[in-house]
Amino acid sequence: MQGVILDFDSVGPSDLDLSKLYDLPVKWQIYSHCSPEQVSERISDADIVLINKAPLLAPQIEQAKRLKLISIFATGTNIIDLKAARERNIIVSNAVSYGTGSVVQHVWSLILSLTTKLDEYRKAAMDGSWEDSHFFCVMDFSVRELQGKTLGIVGAGELGMGVAKIAEAFGMDVIFAALPGRKHSTQSNRIPFKELLTKADILSLHCPLTEQTTKLIGAEELALMKRSSILINTSRGALVDEVALKNALQQGEIAGAASDVLSVEPPVDGNVLLDTAIPNFVLTPHVAWIAKEARQRLIEQVAGNVEAFLEGNPRNQVL
């Protein structure tokens, strides 16, 4: 079997144990990174293709005549043309639940950073503000407790439930959004999406990016939120109308926001949110998932997907 890994460096393999992948009966051709223009040539003779963020669109899939399995180092499959894969009877598998601990702790680091004004007080401790204080402390920035506040979550999967579990430890009330036109699990604390927007003190997004959820949070939704509320997005950048978010923060329509994602990554052509003048905004460069333990589980799960395929029992199938 001929296998190709198109963008392996995006998984950060240098500090991981790769033996489960390399011990498979597959002859691997490994590329550190891959531009869209290079995909067709690189997968032309492959039976198996592993990707993280390198798109596999219909033209590339159609030209890869031997291709039998696509396995992605991620949960979301929006960069794969599933229709084209289905027409070729190509199996597509993904990875699930590998990054829960890593993502959940990053969500809470963003929430705590905003509610405790961590960065502002870190700077105040070092820039002379503390030395110049008439008192034993500095109280220039308002800090809020989480206890008794309401956390609204969009997406009640592995990540959403993981974030909810930590919220309970802080003494928060948790509510889940019922998006219009969608089937949902039956949590007793699930309420209509727009009602949730008006009730949540913190809103955290954990749903996939689809046609229906693109710009799920726009100007109208931000206007429904409390002026004291905070928005957290560690899912996909395009879930949020970035221009509307910037305007809402600048106009004080919400109290703060944090995002680990942008609509285009990396933001080679810039982005409206890459602006240090935006108040009460924290941006991290898509790092919520990158804990070493999470990446190790990811490697082992994708290796397991390939092994199961070779044994004739595909798993984690999207197609």
Catalytic residue among 106, 236, 295, 297: 236
Whether the per-residue pLDDT at 183 is higher than 80: the answer is no
> At which residue do the structure tokens 């949902």 appear?
184
- The model's confidence at residue 187, banded by pLDDT at 50, 70 and 90, is confident
In which domain, by residue range, is 188 found?
A: 100-283
User: Is residue 120 scored above 80 in pLDDT?
Assistant: yes
pLDDT single digits (tens) 1-48: 999 999 999 999 999 999 999 999 999 999 999 999 999 999 999 999
d(CA 137, CA 150): 29
Encode pLDDT of 227-255 as tens digits. Answer: 999 999 999 999 999 999 999 999 999 99
Structure confidence at residue 117 as a pLDDT band (50, 70, 90): very high
Q: What is the DSSP string of 38-78?
A: GHHHHHTT-SEEEESSS-B-HHHHHH-TT--EEEESSS--T
Report the share of the chain in percent with pLDDT over 90: 95
246 closest CA partner among 234, 231, 260: 231
Is 265 an annotated catalytic residue? yes
CA atoms of 230 and 220, how far apart (whole Å)? 16
Residues 96-111 as b/e (b if ≥16 CB within 10 A, e otherwise) read eebbbebbbebbbbbb
Annotated catalytic, 134? no
Residue 317 lies in a domain: no
Read off the DSSP letter of residue 100.
H
Cα angle 32, 34, 36 (rounded to 5 degrees) comes to: 170
User: Is the pLDDT confidence value at 186 over 80?
Assistant: no
> Residue 228 has what pLDDT?
98
What confidence score (pLDDT) does residue 182 get? 78
**Section 80-84 average pLDDT:** 97
Structural domain count, the chain: 2
Whether residue 319 lies inside any domain: the answer is no
Active site residue 295: no
pTM over 0.85: yes
Say whether both 128 and 196 belong to one domain.
Answer: yes
Catalytic residue among 41, 131, 145, 265: 265
* Residue 315 within a domain: no
CATH for 296: 3.40.50.720
Specify the pairing of strand 230-233 against strand 27-30: unpaired
Domain membership of residue 250 (yes or no) is yes
Nearest CA-CA partner of 205 in 251, 254, 153, 255: 153
Q: Which of 62, 286, 307, 315 is catalytic?
A: 286
Residues 144 and 301: their CA atoms lie apart, in Å, by 40
